[in-house]
């Protein structure tokens, strides 16, 4: 893990320290996905967040918003000071993304709906002959929702080669594994059967993500991103107690930061 990935994780922990709450594991699993999108793939402009030719990104698994907020601050969409007011009454940033935040395309968090919104944006781009693309990040547990597959059918019917779905496949949900709650495998074959071009990638490998996301698609695309929930902090990785925290102690924050200091030294 390089220094940029460590830095972004440290910012997530700092937000957690300020708010004493948040979906930690879900944010840490998507750091590299968001980093590559905003650093290397998306056409965006923090000075003009609504410019018509921008690429659209929707975080359908809205509970992972700590990672997105950190990226948006890093890119200048929001002031960094807003991070330290996360989930506070005088702050801009809530526990799920809202369109009042610059750079947020859709209010999300009610799982299963982000892909449908993204499909609508992609269809509109086709009909208006615009060349912007739409990217949507969904959770693997979110793929339990029937609305996801209805939207996928629609995307294939209208040959939306301007749409990319990224699945955060950390194989854990809020209270157990995806295999125990509702088996998803064979996940790649499911997306192929719905008319998608499918790639399996290491969701923490920046080079691999860049290569696939910058490739040309000829049909709707699904990237199955194999990730680790809580990636980067040993005590948090694959630990469902860190899916969401409503109370975090000073000692826990110190442990998280110490673990990241060790990663930084090795980067």
Residue 208's SS3 state is helix
Distance of CA 96 to the CA centre of its chain: 12
pTM for the model: 0.96
**Are 15 and 83 within 8 A, CB to CB?**
yes
Residues 220 and 161: their CA atoms lie apart, in Å, by: 5
Expressed as residue numbers, the domain containing 168 is 3-266
- Is residue 267 predicted with pLDDT exceeding 80? no
> 78 — phi, psi (to 5°)?
-135, 155
List pLDDT tens digits, range 230-251.
999 999 999 999 898 888 899 9
End-to-end CA, the chain: 6
Q: How confident is the model at residue 182 (pLDDT cuts 50, 70, 90)?
A: very high
List pLDDT tens digits, range 64-96.
999 999 999 999 999 999 999 999 999 999 999
**Predicted pLDDT of residue 175:** 86
**CA-to-CA dists, residue 165 to 96, 209, 240, 253, 257, angstroms:** 19, 13, 25, 33, 32
**Are 67 and 8 within 8 A, CB to CB?**
yes
CATH number at residue 259: 3.40.50.970
**Predicted pLDDT of residue 12:** 97
Residues 21 and 33: their CA atoms lie apart, in Å, by: 23
Q: Into how many domains does the chain fold?
A: 1
Q: CB within 8 A of 26, min separation 6: which ones?
A: 61, 63, 64, 139, 168, 229, 243, 244
List pLDDT tens digits, range 28-59.
999 999 999 999 999 999 999 999 999 999 99
């Amino acid at each position: 893990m390089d220094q940029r990935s460590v830095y972004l994780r440290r910012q997530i922990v700092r937000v957690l320290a300020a708010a004493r709450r948040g979906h930690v594991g879900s944010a840490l699993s998507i750091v590299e996905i968001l980093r590559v999108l905003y650093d290397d793939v998306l056409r965006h402009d923090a000075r003009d967040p609504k410019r018509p030719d921008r690429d659209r990104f929707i975080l359908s698994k809205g509970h992972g918003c700590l990672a997105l907020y950190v990226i948006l601050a890093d890119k200048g969409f929001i002031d960094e000071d807003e991070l330290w007011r996360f989930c506070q009454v005088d702050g801009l940033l809530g526990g799920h993304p809202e369109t009042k935040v610059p750079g947020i395309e859709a209010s999300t968090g009610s799982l299963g709906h982000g892909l449908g919104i993204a499909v609508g944006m992609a269809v509109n781009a086709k009909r208006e002959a615009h060349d912007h693309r739409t990217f949507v990040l969904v959770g693997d547990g979110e793929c339990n929702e029937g609305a996801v597959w209805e939207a996928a059918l629609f995307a294939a019917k209208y040959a939306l080669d301007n749409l990319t779905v990224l699945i955060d496949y950390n194989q854990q949900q809020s209270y157990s594994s995806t295999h125990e709650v509702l088996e998803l495998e064979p996940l790649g074959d499911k997306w192929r059967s719905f008319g998608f071009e499918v790639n399996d990638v290491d969701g923490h490998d920046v080079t691999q993500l860049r290569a696939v996301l910058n490739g040309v698609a000829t049909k709707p695309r699904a990237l199955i991103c194999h990730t680790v929930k809580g990636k980067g902090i040993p005590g948090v990785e694959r630990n469902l107690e860190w899916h969401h925290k409503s109370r975090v102690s000073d000692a826990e924050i110190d442990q998280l930061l110490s673990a990241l200091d060790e990663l930084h030294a090795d980067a």
